[in-house]
Structures are given as structure tokens and as C-alpha cells.
């Protein structure tokens, strides 16, 4: 199997796992609070990343360097990002929270203007207009000429999560830590903070094996294995666009799983809004770095 085929296999594996997490979020949040879910998931992911860092012989370096970055990066991701994201999933149907979360790439393009001094192109503006019209359709549940939202706070939380995620990656643009080490260090900072929040808030309660299983699944696959598979895909592929386009497969699969596993009726407003969001992302992808330039960057 050549390098690109391996990369596609890893990328498809990551996307397949990401397609299941909206369902896992809703299952877990049916039994526990967003804070309890992130505490369980973060602990599992931290243990997995620690094992991988040790197996790669990177633990000594991880213990000595990079903690000044991890101190603020860990507070952004996983603490702030997942607390806000899980709160959005707790309030909204999974299909709406999932679709709104996909606007993070457009949020990143907008934030890159003041942070990285990049310029918006006409295609960026058009892509943003198309995608955020989809956000409006989802937020109003198809009542596009109304300013009444079914759950305004849930929509705001979902959009704020994209803001945190985009800011995290933009501010980490010059992070020289190996990705696995960075992930482990961030979670090492996050777990004590989350534990303090748990002690100050809901405390530690047993919610049953279903809740624990869903939390472990989120930590193991959404925060752990999928991250590793995606890193391997990006590392092996000759052109990053070959694997980045795979992410468009995830939302339709997520919708079907939410429908058949959770029993959510698929709203027509979600379908229309998701098509608009993915169309905006597609427009943005079309103007990425030309193949000739990308070949040497992967």
C-alpha cells in the first residue's frame, strides 16, 4: 500500500470515528452534565496519549519542555472548548449542534485577518456568506424571516465553540511541540482544573455503565484515536487536500446515526442549513494552495 493509500485509510478511519461522536455526546449527556462528561473523556484521552508518548520515547522531552505553552493551551482545549461544545449539545438537537460546529473553518479564516494579518479574498467572503446563511436557517429552524430562535443560547454556545477552536489553532500556529506531546501536556493541565471544577460543582457521582461507556468512548475515540489517525493521514499524504476533503463525509453519516440510534427526526431546516454550510466550506477549499505548492508541505 503506497503512502497516499495509507493516508486515505487513516483519514477515513478518523472521519468514521468523528461521525459517531455526536451520537456519543447525546447518549452521555442524557445521563451526566457537560462537566462530568469532559472530566471522564479527558482522563481517558490523557491516559491514551501518555501511553503513546511513552511508546514513542518522547516522555522525557514532554516532562522537560513545552509547559509554558501548555498552561494556556490546555485551558483553551480541552477545558473551554469542550465545556462550551458539550453545553451546546446539551441544549440543542445533536444534528443542529453538529452542523453549527462545522463552521469553525470559516471562523478561522475570519480570525486569521487580525491575528495572522492575512487578507480575506472575495471567495472567503462569498463562502462565509453562504455558510452563515446555513447557520441562520438552522438557528431559526427554517423560519428565516423570524428573529425568534428555538434555543438562542444553544446556538450561541455552538458558535462560541467554533470561535474557541479556531483561536486555539491560530494561536498554536507557531507551536513547535510534537502533536502527541502537545495533546498530552494540554490534558495534563486540564485534568486538575476540571477536577477542581467537579469538586466545586456537581461532585463525583455514579450515573451507570451507559454513561461511563459513552464518556470513555468520547475520550478514547473523539479526543484520542481519531486525533492520532488524522495526524498519521496528514503526515503520510502527498497533498493535504486529498485527506482534508474527507471531512465532508462526516455530517451525513452523523445525521443518520443520530436518527437511527438516538431517534432524532431529521429536520428539513438542518438538511438545508447543512448543505449551505458544506457548500461554503467547499468554496473555501477550492482556493487552497495549488497542488504544485502543497506537494512539498505534507
> Would you give the distance in Å from CA 94 to the centre of its chain?
14
* Confidence bin at 200 (pLDDT 50/70/90): very high
Q: Which of 25-34, 84-93, 141-150 has the lowest mean pLDDT?
A: 141-150
Q: How far apart are CA 58 and CA 49, in angstroms?
A: 11
Cell 490523557 found at = 46
CB 115 within 8 A of CB 168: no
Predicted confidence band of residue 288 (pLDDT cuts 50, 70, 90)? low
Q: What confidence score (pLDDT) does residue 102 get? A: 84
Contact in structure between 97 and 82 (CB atoms under 8 Å): no
Which grid coordinates are listed for 73?
A: 493551551
* Cβ contacts of 138-141, under 8 Å, gap ≥ 24: 138/96, 138/99, 138/100, 138/269, 138/270, 138/273, 138/274, 139/100, 140/269, 141/267, 141/269
Grade residue 148 by pLDDT with cuts at 50, 70 and 90: low
Quote the CA–CA distance of 195 and 166 in Å, as a whole number: 26
Integer Cα distance of 53 and 47 in angstroms: 10
Q: What is the mean pLDDT of residues 195-211?
A: 90
The pLDDT value given to residue 214: 92
Report pLDDT for 291: 42
DSSP string, 8-71: HHHHHHHHHHHHHHHHHHHHHHTTS-HHHHHHHHHHHHHHHHHHHHHHTT-HHHHHHS-HHHHH
For residue 90, pLDDT over 80 is answered with yes
Q: Which range among 158-172, 191-205, 240-254, 265-279 shows the weakest confidence by mean pLDDT?
A: 240-254
**Is-contact 111 127, C-beta < 8 A?**
no
Highest mean pLDDT among 150-154, 210-214, 291-295: 210-214
- Distance separating alpha carbons of residues 279 and 103, to the nearest angstrom: 11
Per-residue model confidence (pLDDT) at position 292: 40
* pLDDT at position 298 over 60: no
- pTM to 2 decimal places: 0.86
- Residue 1 neighbours by CB distance under 10 Å: 8
Q: What are the pLDDT digits (tens) for 206-255?
A: 888 999 999 999 999 988 898 888 888 877 777 666 677 777 788 888 99
Least confident piece of the model among 45-49, 111-115, 172-176: 172-176
Cβ atoms of 134 and 269 closer than 8 Å:
no
Q: At 287, is the pLDDT very low, low, confident or very high (cuts 50, 70, 90)?
A: low
| pLDDT score, position 293 | 41
Q: pLDDT-derived band of residue 141, with 50, 70 and 90 as boundaries?
A: confident
How many whole angstroms separate alpha carbon 100 and alpha carbon 157? 10
Amino acid at each position: 500500500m503506497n503512502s497516499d493509500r495509507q493516508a486515505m485509510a487513516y483519514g477515513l478511519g478518523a472521519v468514521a470515528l468523528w461521525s459517531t461522536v455526536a451520537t456519543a455526546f447525546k447518549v452521555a449527556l442524557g445521563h451526566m452534565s457537560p462537566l462530568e462528561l469532559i472530566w471522564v473523556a479527558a482522563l481517558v484521552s490523557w491516559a491514551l496519549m501518555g501511553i503513546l508518548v511513552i511508546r514513542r520515547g518522547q516522555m522525557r522531552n514532554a516532562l522537560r519542555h513545552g509547559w509554558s505553552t501548555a498552561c494556556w493551551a490546555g485551558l483553551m482545549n480541552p477545558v473551554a472548548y469542550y465545556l462550551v461544545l458539550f453545553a451546546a449539545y446539551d441544549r440543542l438537537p445533536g444534528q443542529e449542534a453538529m452542523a453549527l460546529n462545522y463552521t469553525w473553518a470559516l471562523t478561522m479564516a475570519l480570525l486569521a485577518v487580525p491575528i495572522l494579518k492575512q487578507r480575506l479574498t472575495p471567495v472567503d467572503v462569498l463562502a462565509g456568506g453562504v455558510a452563515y446563511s446555513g447557520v441562520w436557517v438552522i438557528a431559526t429552524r427554517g423560519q428565516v424571516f423570524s428573529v425568534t430562535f428555538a434555543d438562542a443560547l444553544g446556538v450561541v454556545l455552538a458558535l462560541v465553540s467554533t470561535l474557541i477552536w479556531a483561536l486555539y489553532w491560530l494561536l498554536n500556529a507557531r507551536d513547535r511541540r510534537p502533536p502527541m506531546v502537545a495533546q498530552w501536556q494540554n490534558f495534563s493541565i486540564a485534568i486538575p482544573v476540571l477536577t477542581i471544577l467537579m469538586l466545586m460543582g456537581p461532585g463525583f457521582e455514579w450515573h451507570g455503565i451507559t454513561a461511563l461507556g459513552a464518556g470513555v468512548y468520547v475520550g478514547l475515540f473523539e479526543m484520542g484515536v481519531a486525533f492520532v489517525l488524522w495526524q498519521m493521514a496528514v503526515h503520510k499524504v502527498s497533498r493535504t487536500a486529498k485527506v482534508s476533503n474527507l471531512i465532508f463525509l462526516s455530517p451525513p453519516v452523523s445525521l443518520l446515526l443520530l436518527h437511527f440510534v438516538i431517534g432524532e427526526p431529521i429536520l428539513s431546516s438542518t438538511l438545508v442549513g447543512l448543505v449551505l454550510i458544506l457548500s461554503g466550506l467547499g468554496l473555501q477549499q477550492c482556493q487552497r494552495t495549488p497542488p504544485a505548492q502543497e506537494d512539498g508541505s505534507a
